[in-house]
Amino acid sequence: MAEIVRSGILSVDSGQVEAARALGMSHRLLMRLIVLPQAMRVVIPPTGNQVITLLKSTSLVSVIALGDLLYQTEKIYAQNFETVPLLLVATLWYLILTTALSIGQSYLERYFGKGHVPLRAKRTAKA
């Protein structure tokens, strides 16, 4: 996770930092107004993917007997012997949660991607 944030911060052009320093901005203001908003375009996609992968991996935790969604489902169907319906419910919950996280990530990417003109669009605009 730290490497993702570090790469995002390093992806901001050094000219941006120099220009902000020339304007007399403090380091805190420089990071808050210049660097971090631009770094978010690089940070959000891998961070969102990590969170979604972590959510999907929680089903593996049930093997070591920790209380997650699948483990709770196993406890319930051990009592009432309705295995398939409860596993379908657990699958539905995982699907709902991963879909919600994916949609949230998509909105965040779109929000922080505003104002960014891809290199291809710059080339066609000059021609």
Of 7-11, 55-59, 80-84, 118-122, minimum mean pLDDT range? 118-122
Distance CA 94, CA 89 (A): 9
pLDDT tens for 67-107 read 677 777 888 888 888 889 888 988 888 899 899 999 999 99
Prediction pTM value:
0.67
- pLDDT score for 112: 86
- pLDDT score for 16: 92
User: Can you give the three-state secondary structure of 65-126, one letter per residue?
Assistant: CCCCHHHHHHHHHHHHCCHHHHHHHHHHHHHHHHHHHHHHHHHHHHHHCCCCCCHHHHHHHH
Distance CA 91, CA 111 (A): 30
End-to-end CA distance of the chain: 40
Chain Cα centroid distance, residue 52: 8
Q: Is the pLDDT of residue 38 over 70?
A: yes
Q: Is the pLDDT of residue 28 over 60?
A: yes
- Contact criterion met (CB below 8 Å) for 22 and 82: no
In the chain, what are the domains? 2-126 (1.10.3720.10)
- Contact criterion met (CB below 8 Å) for 54 and 41: no
pLDDT tens for 42-64 read 999 999 999 988 888 776 665 55
